A and B are shown apart, each in its own frame.
Chain A
Amino acid sequence: QVQLVQSGAEVKKPGASVKVSCKASGYTFSNYYMHWVRQAPGQGLQWMGVISPSGGSTSYAQKFQGRVTVTRDTSTNTVYMELSSLRSDDTAVYYCARSPGSYGWFDPWGQGTLVTVSS
């Protein structure tokens, strides 16, 4: 079955960077885009960016431009999201989610990765 398995929880200090992975299985990796969405504690969902698994082109939400980088490794069917210059308000659960396109609905989602930013 289609599965997205994310890396484990992280604790980072302000100013540091974090890199979260999302390993896909159960489908043809190059046929679907991968998005990243975050959810701060008790808050709603916020789209961060997307990558094309075949060509590797990316698009990011304006809010995260310059701080987020999404990459992929087609040899391991893994997508990565790196967020730099972390602040306390970056504390959130980060999800990867598969989509049929750069614009599309998300299904399935990874299990989520909690990133805590604290001094």
Chain B
Amino acid sequence: DIQMTQSPSTLSASVGDRVIITCRASQTIGTWLAWYQQKPGKAPKLLIYKASTLESGVPSRFSGSGSGTEFTLTISSLQPDDFATYYCQQHDTYSTFGQGTKLEIK
């Protein structure tokens, strides 16, 4: 099975900050990676797929990059609505999720 490791597990930041979340795959997955945002009590919401394609309706402050085994999600200028938990997902071979990164208000 492909393992996905996210870092950090928790991130404290302020409105307006630029933040980067990293996801590492245990084997190469090309660009078959997605990012999701989840708020408490809600289903995950797709942000980015195929590593860097922004889902329709998602603000442009979100961006994704990477290929192979190393990937990043960048939020260019944090907004109050962005404080949530973020998950990466490999979709190269079925599906595996990272353990999540909780983005907290500093």
Give A contacts to B, CB under 8 Å: 35, 37, 44-47, 50, 59, 61-62, 95, 99, 102-112
Q: Is B96 an interface residue (CB 8 A)?
A: yes
Supposing A44-B87, A62-B1, A103-B32 touch, asked if A109 and B97 sit within 8 A by C-beta, the answer is no
- Give chain B's interface residue range (CB within 8 Å of chain A): 20 to 34
Partner of A111, one of B36, B43, B98: B43
Cα of A104 to Cα of B95 in the assembled complex, Å:
8
- A105 contact set on B, CB distance < 8 A: 34, 46, 49-50, 89, 91
Over the window 40-73 of chain B, the binary record of Cβ atoms lying under 8 Å from chain A Cβ atoms (1 yes, 0 no) is 0001111001100001000000000000000000
7 pairs, CB–CB < 8 Å, chain A vs chain B: A44-B98, A45-B97, A47-B96, A47-B97, A103-B91, A105-B50, A108-B43
Q: Is the CB of B97 within 8 A of A106?
A: no
Q: Shortest CB–CB separation between residue A36 and chain B, in angstroms?
A: 10
> Known: A104-B91, A105-B89, A106-B34. Is A46-B97 also a contact (CB below 8 A)?
yes
Inter-subunit contact A44/B99 (CB<8 Å)? yes
Q: In the complex, what residue of chain B is closest to A60 when comparing beta carbons? A: B94
Chain B positions near chain A (C-beta within 8 angstroms): 1, 32, 34, 36, 43-46, 49-50, 55, 87, 89, 91-100
Contact call B93/A103, Cβ cutoff below 8 A: yes
Given contacts A45-B36, A47-B95, A103-B93, 7 further A-B contacts (CB under 8 A): A44-B99, A62-B1, A103-B92, A103-B94, A105-B49, A105-B89, A106-B46
The smallest beta-carbon distance between A111 and chain B, in angstroms, is 6
- Please measure, in the bound complex, the distance between the C-alpha atom of A110 and the C-alpha atom of B44, giving whole angstroms: 9
Contacts of B1 in A (CB 8 A): 62
A37: chain B residues within 8 A (beta carbon): 95, 97
Q: How far is the CB of A113 from chain B (nearest CB, A)?
A: 11
Asked whether A44 and B100 contact (CB < 8 A) given A103-B94, A107-B46, the answer is yes
A95 to B87, CA, bound (A): 15
A44-B87, A45-B87 as given contacts; A106 in contact with B44, CB under 8 Å: yes
B84 CB → nearest A CB, Å = 14
